[in-house]
Each structure stands twice: as C-alpha cells, then as structure tokens.
Amino acid sequence: MNYLKLSENQLKEILKIERQKYEGYKAKNLKLDMSRGKPCREQLDLSSPMLGILDEASDLKTENGFDTRNYALVDGIPEIKKLYAEILNVKENLVIAGGSSSLSLMYDTVQRGMQFGFAGSTAWGKLDRVRFICPAPGYDRHFAITQLFGIEMITVALKDDGPDMDAVEKLCADDESVKGIWCVPKFGNPTGVIYSDITVKRLASMKAAKDFRIFWDNAYSIHALKDNTRELLDILPECERVGNTDRAFIFTSTSKVTFAGAGVSFFASSENNIKEAKAVISIQTIGPDKINQLRHARFLKDKANTLAHMKNHAAIIKPKFDAVISILKKDLDGCGIAAWTNPDGGYFISVDVLNGTAKRVVALAKDAGVVLTPAGATYPYGKDPNDGNIRFAPTLPPLGELITASEIFVNCIKIAAAEKLTATVS
C-alpha cells in the first residue's frame, strides 16, 4: 500500500503495528554492524593460501633477481605492476604499486597538490581558494580528505550514467579555482553506477584549469556480482586523445580482492604525473612492502586468474545482495517511501527513504542493535540536503544476521515514514 495515499488514521494504525515489531527486535539485544563495506570471513579465507606461497629465501626474489627483503623499488616490484597494468589496461611504466591502502595514495596525492602543485602550476595551498567537485551520493572518505585540507566541496548530483556533466562542465569552465573531482566510475560507492562512455569522454575533454585533476578511484573495477557487466571506458587514453594527457589520476587496490588490511595499492597516470609522484615518493619512503607485493603477484598470477578469483568472491556475496533486494521489494515495493539500487557489482546498496527521515531511520536501527552508515555520510560535510540517503553494506554479516538486519531496516523505514507523515514521533 502506498503510504502517501493513506489517511492519517490508517498511517497511525501502521505505526502502531510497526512499533510493536520494533520492540520485539529490541528485546533480542542484537549487535549487527552494517556500517562499512568489509569483506566477510569466507571472502578473506579465499586468499589464505597466499600466506604460505613464499617459502625459502630464494623464493623472495623477483623475476629479475631483486631481493624483496631489501631497500629500493619505491614504485613497486615489476611483477605486481605488470599484473595491475593489465587489469587497469595501462602501460606498466605508468603504474606505481604502494602499500595496503589506496586511500593513503589519494591522501598523498591531494597533499602533493596542496604543497607542490602539479605540472608547474602554483601549489594549491598558496591559492586563495581551492574547490573540488563531489558527486553525491558518494564516498565519505573522499569527502573527509578534502575537508581536512580545507578544500571547498561542491556537490553535484550523481546520475545513472555518472555525475551531472552539465553542472560539472559549467563549474570547471567558469571557475579556475575548481581543481579536482572525485569519481568512483565503476560500481560506484554507494549507488553501483557505471559511468557511461559519453560521461568519460566529457570529463576528459571539458574545459578546465590546467592543473585540474580527475581523482579516478576505480576501487571496484573487477568486483562484479553479475556476468557481462558493462565495460568502463578507459580514462587515460581519452585524456591523451584530446590533449589533456595529465588530467587523470587512477587509484585502486587489492583490499577487497585479497586481504582488506594487507593488500597492495596502485596509482596510475600519465608519464609526467608518474615522474612527479615518484620524485616525492622517493623522499617519503625507501620502498613499500615488496614481500607482500611478491606474495600477491605469485598468488593472483595474471588478469584471467584474478578475475576467476573474483568470481569466487561474487559467489559468496551475491546471495547476500539478492536477499536484501528481495526483502526490500517484498516489504517496501509500492509503499512510496523508499527506492533502492540493484547494483551489478561493488559493495553497497544505496537506499533513498522518505525525505527528512534518513537520520531517524539510522537512529532507530541503532537502538534496535543494527549499526548503519551515518545518515548524511554520502554527502560532503556529512549534510544530505534531503536527509534521504542511506548506504547499506551487505557483505560482512552471515546471511542469517543480514536477513534480520534487513528486516529491522525495513521496519525502521516504515516507522520513520509513518511518523513523518503523521507528524508523530515518540
């Protein structure tokens, strides 16, 4: 039944029933964490054989004889760079392999822009104003980095084919202080969107400041849940084709491929950008964990083997996504108070609830023992102008717990909506 067409008395009766269910959930004293996109234990176990893949000291040398126990190779070992060059579809010399966190690479790249600037341009930190475009709903940690450095964030809508490019192009053409845009271009966080070819081409070719940079966080590029998902157009060749060779920075990692806390991160870009980055990184560090890089290269082997490994991940988590979508459809279809994505990959389901109720839903869920991502987290400064979007992360809990958490989530959505529509909050 459509809540928006019900009488106040009908809504109050629904509210009474849903609150009774809610008290029953609270009585179970549950502790379920749905707040972040973490791999579950079964996913982590897929990579456990990697831990024993290196045995003797002779095993610790790269193909060209370098001993990974020693200093040097600040940009990573050849084997792992070759593997991820193949996955990212870029040249091997355009890849830097780092430590376990691509977020650290993103942070460092923003910091380089603030301290040193890019391509001979004035350091961002010396400018009166620096602005970044932040498509939303988006990734809260991108926004946290931007805010930490005092960069002004401009929200633009994230559509089904990527950012609202009319808005993006106007902002960049009219304002030299716009220096960057955050993008999660395939299986985006949290909506699961895949940027269209037209969007990629427009980002590459649009008028913008010389030191404008696309922060292309391709974290989920191989995290498909379904077969034959749409391919993402490669950003670097598009930028080069139109003469904006240095415009894009690509980031990714193995964090959800192998071990979330002990993976390998990657930065890819143009020759000029790689040269600039290596000049700073070589002072910042004597080298990443090359033993871990070698372990990953030997375990993952090549792109084909890596994609086969990812199918094993999908077999574990797809039933979880299917269970959540099934519950949302069964209990909320036709109610007029919620809409949700059904992603082809990635780690999240984006749920839009009745405007003005997201914070209430999250608070109700918390009191019932289900921790969700904070309402507003998917928008710059933590401020969702509609108080309507919630990121739901299905991967970590066992299926039984996930089903319970999803049922509580639906219950909280119904309570918050009925309260809003009747102006009744207890």
Predicted local distance difference test score (pLDDT) of residue 415: 98
Predicted local distance difference test score (pLDDT) of residue 252: 98
Instruction: Give the pLDDT mean for 260-267.
Output: 96
- In tens, the pLDDT along 125-152 reads 999 999 999 999 999 999 999 999 999 9
DSSP symbol at 59: G
Q: Is the pLDDT of residue 425 over 70?
A: no
Question: Can you list the domains of the chain with their CATH numbers?
Answer: 3-44+307-422 (3.90.1150.10), 61-300 (3.40.640.10)
Instruction: Give the pLDDT mean for 370-394.
Output: 97
CA angle 384, 182, 76 (to 5 degrees): 135
Query: In this prediction, what percent of the chain has a pLDDT beyond 70?
Result: 99
Predicted local distance difference test score (pLDDT) of residue 366: 97
How high does pLDDT run on average in the chain? 96
Q: Is the pLDDT of residue 57 over 90?
A: no
Q: Is the pLDDT of residue 250 over 60?
A: yes
Three-state secondary structure readout of 339-380: EECCCCECCCEEEEECCCCHHHHHHHHHHCCEEECCCCCCCH
Predicted local distance difference test score (pLDDT) of residue 426: 52
C-alpha 285, offset from chain centre: 26
In terms of Cβ atoms closer than 10 Å to its own Cβ (0-12, 13-18, 19+), residue 174 is exposed
Instruction: Give the pLDDT mean for 25-29.
Output: 95
Instruction: Give the pLDDT mean for 359-377.
Output: 97
Predicted local distance difference test score (pLDDT) of residue 423: 87
Predicted local distance difference test score (pLDDT) of residue 183: 98
Residues 149 and 108: their CA atoms lie apart, in Å, by 11
Query: In this prediction, what percent of the chain has a pLDDT beyond 90?
Result: 96
In terms of Cβ atoms closer than 10 Å to its own Cβ (0-12, 13-18, 19+), residue 128 is exposed
- pLDDT band at 334, cuts 50/70/90? very high
- CA of 185: how far to CAs of 100, 218, 223, 308, in Å? 21, 6, 12, 22
Predicted local distance difference test score (pLDDT) of residue 56: 78
Predicted local distance difference test score (pLDDT) of residue 141: 97
Instruction: Give the pLDDT mean for 275-298.
Output: 96
